[in-house]
């Protein structure tokens, strides 16, 4: 039998969200929530529902509908996860988690959309929405028949059609406003995964062993590599690739009785390798038992999984592996797919770290669903951190199950990319790169230290319990909070001591995780370093060449926003910026400044991407290495020493740059500022305003600098809350009639 699968290679769709900032951490008030107290015979679900009813007003849930999704167990207690609905439709990226310990509701994590007021009756049919999608994004090669209505929680809400379509880089999911036809968001269905199995791997345990294939359906006729009560089928690649669809088959039979005793083939690149298929079944089943012991319930239909061995890309070697919820249709229909590549020099199926890492993504997606991907944006801008958390947890659980801190000796070793969790120490924010696998080592490395200090059982329970409290788009600070709260919950359950809880807090602090949120605080005259990502990252996710995205007006952003509180005696603020790239290029960048609140990003209905929309001042710099932005009494609005200033920085280049930023309080020596006019870079439309002095400096190694006044404008007022989307930067527009998307940008005043 054969089946085709939509090519969701290397990426996982993990929800849509417009984050509103920090997760709301709550605890029921005993006087208001007697149903949250211990009551004989009351289930965990009943206690959680009673707490929600009792706290409906206190937690401002009067207009919020929460639907129980499932109870998930951990040693910290039973976590009840609820999803939000509006008019019977799912509210994208909105959820609540209530943990019941010792017969009462304790820790509560809320991320809900309030004040939704949108018609749930679409004006456009699914076919009309697909036509609108094709008009918006001409590089799409085709749309599938899938289409579902949902609520996008931006402002009062948008009724959207969620549509799947293919592009040169794979497959994506797109949100079309069901009333207006605007493109409100997009994300990739591809997710790259790293990994390659004997008992452990060809490199670590090179002698094959005959081991039990647990949960195999031996009563079937004929017997195939199917199990888990009908939830798993292991198949083999036949044809296809990410630009179209895959065809798979399930033909492997036992070699002796009910046993699949196949030797490794003479060539490790054999695309019909039976040994690889058996390895795949065995290690997926081992990981199912591992997570089952932690408390994961994996028997619902949504957990159905098809696994593909010996995966190629249109017949060519594939040096990778992936999990994707794009699923598979036909005889092997399943909402989840794990595919293991047949590489140029090695079969990735010979390294169990591959399966375990991918299986962890599969579990996190189906049990929690917090990961929004590499290029996720929320209302404060670029936020890949939920993807980093997911990669770090996948590394940790894979290594913990194997008892080996080195990930991928066989598969990644061929590519020089093994990861040793025992040898990594990263700090936030100075060591963050924006790449989810690298930044995930901060989480994975911390997990391994916890395993060494607390023991495997306690560390596994702690990491799993923390994951269950994460909401869609969680950042590293959210993970730190969830880890600390889970440690306290485990202590309440007698699983950890107070000293061990203090150790968890200490290890989090050593890595800077506690304050690793969406905004990084600047201190006087102290430079901070970060990465200013290039558009090549977007191009890999979207499909077109990077130069097309530059011409299309897309931008990327620094990893975090920055905040600075000037000294009370100051009458000006000076921001100093330095950019360095490997190729020596000078990418065009724009600095956005806002007093009192972070710079807000907003969706552009023309592109589904975004850019800063709520800000006070902006400065665009082109072709320089160093730059300075000043806010003075002559700025509009004028400098205010009592205000906290927030800074966001965007780039319009394909090249990634290392960014260094510092802020200084100053006293004006009489120069003041001058008035400047011009358009807002990257916003599409003109504007005017007044600003303080802005300086541009050339490469100082050349011995000189050129200074000029850069355009500064006031940001628009009254923009709605940004919608955060997976894998793509967001875009906004300032003018009512933007220029055509295909017009090339050659000046600073428009996209």
How many secondary structure helices (H) and strands (E) does the chain include? Answer: 11, 35
Query: What is the distance between the alpha carbons of residues 84 and 65, in angstroms, rounded to a whole number?
Result: 6
Write down which residue in 468, 483, 510 finishes a domain.
Answer: 510
In the numeric block, the tokens 């379509």 are attached to: 165
Examine the domain organization and report whether 218 and 359 are in the same domain: yes
Write the DSSP symbol of residue 355: H
Taking only the tens place, the pLDDT of each residue in 325-355 is 888 777 888 999 999 988 888 888 888 888 8
In a domain, residue 353? The reply is yes
Secondary structure (DSSP) of 185-254: EEEES-B-B-----SSBTTTS-S------TTB-TTSSS--SEEGGGTEEEEEEEEE-TTSEEEEE-----
pLDDT for residue 195: 25
In a domain, residue 747? The reply is no
Residue closest to 1 by CA, chosen among 252, 212, 179:
252
Cα–Cα distance list, 503 to 446, 470, 479, 483, 541 (Å): 12, 21, 16, 12, 39
Examine the domain organization and report whether 182 and 210 are in the same domain: no
pLDDT for residue 537: 75
In a domain, residue 165? The reply is yes
Check: CB of residue 4 under 8 Å from CB of residue 330. yes
The residues, ordered by sequence, that sit 6+ positions from 640 with a Cβ below 8 Å of its Cβ are: 595
Write down which residue in 674, 702, 730 finishes a domain.
Answer: 702
Residue 476: give its domain's CATH number: 1.10.390.10
Query: What is the distance between the alpha carbons of residues 592 and 376, in angstroms, rounded to a whole number?
Result: 20
In a domain, residue 473? The reply is yes
Q: Which token pair is 400? A: 């913990």
Examine the domain organization and report whether 197 and 182 are in the same domain: no
In a domain, residue 96? The reply is yes
Question: SS in 3 state form for 265-314?
Answer: CCCCCCCCCHHHHHHHHHHHHHHHHHHHHHCCCCCCHHHCEEEEEEECEC
In the numeric block, the tokens 């993990």 are attached to: 14
Examine the domain organization and report whether 309 and 432 are in the same domain: no
Examine the domain organization and report whether 175 and 212 are in the same domain: no
Q: Which token pair is 232? A: 């798993």
pLDDT for residue 351: 83
Examine the domain organization and report whether 609 and 473 are in the same domain: no
In a domain, residue 745? The reply is no
Examine the domain organization and report whether 492 and 635 are in the same domain: no
Examine the domain organization and report whether 594 and 654 are in the same domain: yes
Examine the domain organization and report whether 357 and 389 are in the same domain: no
Write down which residue in 138, 162, 187 finishes a domain.
Answer: 187
Examine the domain organization and report whether 90 and 209 are in the same domain: no
pLDDT for residue 470: 96
Give residue 428's domain range. 379-510
SS3 (DSSP) at 366: helix
739 CB-contact burial (10 Å; exposed 0-12 / middle 13-18 / buried 19+): middle
Examine the domain organization and report whether 157 and 305 are in the same domain: no
In a domain, residue 733? The reply is no
Q: Which token pair is 142? A: 């085709």
Query: What is the distance between the alpha carbons of residues 546 and 308, in angstroms, rounded to a whole number?
Result: 31
Check: CB of residue 536 under 8 Å from CB of residue 523. no
SS3 (DSSP) at 44: helix
In a domain, residue 477? The reply is yes
Q: What is the largest CA-CA distance in the chain?
A: 92
The backbone region for 31, taken as left when phi is positive above 0, alpha when psi lies in -120 to 50, beta otherwise, is alpha
The upper half-sphere exposure of residue 161, i.e. CA atoms within 13 Å in the direction of its Cβ, equals: 29
Taking only the tens place, the pLDDT of each residue in 421-466 is 999 889 988 888 888 888 999 999 999 999 999 999 999 999 999 9
Residue 545: give its domain's CATH number: 2.60.120.380
Q: What is the CA radius of gyration of the chain?
A: 26
The residues, ordered by sequence, that sit 6+ positions from 485 with a Cβ below 8 Å of its Cβ are: 25, 107, 466, 469
Please list the rounded mean pLDDT of every run of 10 residues in the chain (751 residues): 36 38 79 54 87 92 88 90 94 92 91 94 93 83 71 92 73 88 80 44 70 81 89 92 82 82 83 90 92 92 94 88 82 90 84 90 95 83 90 96 88 77 88 86 96 97 97 94 97 96 97 90 88 80 80 84 95 94 87 95 71 91 91 94 95 87 86 34 30 38 28 27 21 27 25 28
| Count of CB atoms situated within 10 Å of the CB of 31 | 7
Q: Each residue of 235-264: b (16+ CB within 10 Å) or e?
A: bbbbebbbbbbbebbbebebeeeeebebeb
In the numeric block, the tokens 């801190």 are attached to: 405
The residues, ordered by sequence, that sit 6+ positions from 4 with a Cβ below 8 Å of its Cβ are: 240, 245, 246, 247, 248, 328, 329, 330
Write the DSSP symbol of residue 665: E
Q: How many structural domains comprise the chain?
A: 4
Examine the domain organization and report whether 547 and 599 are in the same domain: yes
pLDDT for residue 138: 77
Q: Which token pair is 136? A: 């918006």
Q: Kindly report whether the global pTM for this prediction surpasses the value 0.75.
A: yes
């Amino acid at each position: 039998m054969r089946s085709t699968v939509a090519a969701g290679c290397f990426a996982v769709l993990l929800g849509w969200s417009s984050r509103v900032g920090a997760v709301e951490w709550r605890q029921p008030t005993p006087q208001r929530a007697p149903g949250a107290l211990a009551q004989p015979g009351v289930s965990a679900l009943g206690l959680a529902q009673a707490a929600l009813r009792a706290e409906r007003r206190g937690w401002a849930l009067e207009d919020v509908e929460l639907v129980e999704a499932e109870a998930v167990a951990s040693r910290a207690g039973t976590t009840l996860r609820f999803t939000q609905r509006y008019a019977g439709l799912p509210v994208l990226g909105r959820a609540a988690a209530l943990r019941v310990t010792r017969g009462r509701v304790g820790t509560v994590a809320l991320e809900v959309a309030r004040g939704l007021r949108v018609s749930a009756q679409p004006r456009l049919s699914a076919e009309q929405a697909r036509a609108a999608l094709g008009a918006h994004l001409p590089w799409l090669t085709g749309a599938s028949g899938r289409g579902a209505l949902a609520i996008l929680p931006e402002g009062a809400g948008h009724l959207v059609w969620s549509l799947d379509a293919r592009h040169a880089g794979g497959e994506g999911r797109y949100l079309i406003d069901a009333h207006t036809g605007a493109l409100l968001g997009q994300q990739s269905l591809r997710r790259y995964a790293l990994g390659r199995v004997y008992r452990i791997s060809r490199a670590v345990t090179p002698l094959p062993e005959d081991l039990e294939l647990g949960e195999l359906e031996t009563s079937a006729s004929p017997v195939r590599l199917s199990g888990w009560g009908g939830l798993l089928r292991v198949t083999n690649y036949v044809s296809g690739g990410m630009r179209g669809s895959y065809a798979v088959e399930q033909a492997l039979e036992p070699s002796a009785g009910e046993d699949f005793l196949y030797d490794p083939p003479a060539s490790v690149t054999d695309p019909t390798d039976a040994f690889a298929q058996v390895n795949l079944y065995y290690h997926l089943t081992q990981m199912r038992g591992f997570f089952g012991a932690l408390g994961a319930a994996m028997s619902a239909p949504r957990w159905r999984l098809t696994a593909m061995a010996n995966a190629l890309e249109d017949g060519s070697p594939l040096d990778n592996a992936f999990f994707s919820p794009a699923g598979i249709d036909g005889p092997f229909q399943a909402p989840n797919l794990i595919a293991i590549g047949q590489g140029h020099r090695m079969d990735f199926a010979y390294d169990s770290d591959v399966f375990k890492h991918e299986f962890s993504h599969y579990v996190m997606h189906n049990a929690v669903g917090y990961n929004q991907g590499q290029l996720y944006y929320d209302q404060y801008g670029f936020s890949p951190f939920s993807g980093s958390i997911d990669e770090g947890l996948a590394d940790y659980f894979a290594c913990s199950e194997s008892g080996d801190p080195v990930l991928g000796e066989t598969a990644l070793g061929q590519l020089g990319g093994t990861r040793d969790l025992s040898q990594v120490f990263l700090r936030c924010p100075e060591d963050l790169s924006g790449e989810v696998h690298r930044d995930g080592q901060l989480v994975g490395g911390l997990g391994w230290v916890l395993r060494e200090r607390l023991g495997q059982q306690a560390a596994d329970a702690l990491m799993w319990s923390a994951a269950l409290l994460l909401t869609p788009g969680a950042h590293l600070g959210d993970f730190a909070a969830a880890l600390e709260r889970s440690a306290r919950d485990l202590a309440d359950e007698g699983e950890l001591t107070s000293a061990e809880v203090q150790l968890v807090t200490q290890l989090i602090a050593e890595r800077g995780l506690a304050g690793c949120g969406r905004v990084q605080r600047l201190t006087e005259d102290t430079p901070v370093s970060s990465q200013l990502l290039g558009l090549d990252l977007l191009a890999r996710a979207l499909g077109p060449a990077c130069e097309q995205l530059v011409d299309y007006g897309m931008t990327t952003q620094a990893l975090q926003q920055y905040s600075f509180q000037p000294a009370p005696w100051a009458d000006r603020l000076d921001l100093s910026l330095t950019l360095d790239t490997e190729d020596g290029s000078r990418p065009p960048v724009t600095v956005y400044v806002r007093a009192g609140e972070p710079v807000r990003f907003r969706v552009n209905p023309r592109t589904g991407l975004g850019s800063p929309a709520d800000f006070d001042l902006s400065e665009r710099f082109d072709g320089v290495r160093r730059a300075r932005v000043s806010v003075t009494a002559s700025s509009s609005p004028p400098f205010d020493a009592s205000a906290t200033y927030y800074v966001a920085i965007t780039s319009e280049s394909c090249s990634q740059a290392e960014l260094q930023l510092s802020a200084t309080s100053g006293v004006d020596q009489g120069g003041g500022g001058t008035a400047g006019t011009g358009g807002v870079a990257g916003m599409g439309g003109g504007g005017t305003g007044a600003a303080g002095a802005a300086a541009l400096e050339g490469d100082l190694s050349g011995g000189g600098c050129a200074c000029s006044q850069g355009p500064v404008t006031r940001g628009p007022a009254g923009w709605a809350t940004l919608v955060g989307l997976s894998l793509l930067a967001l875009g906004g527009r300032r003018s009512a009639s933007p220029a055509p998307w295909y017009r090339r940008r050659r000046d600073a005043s428009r996209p």
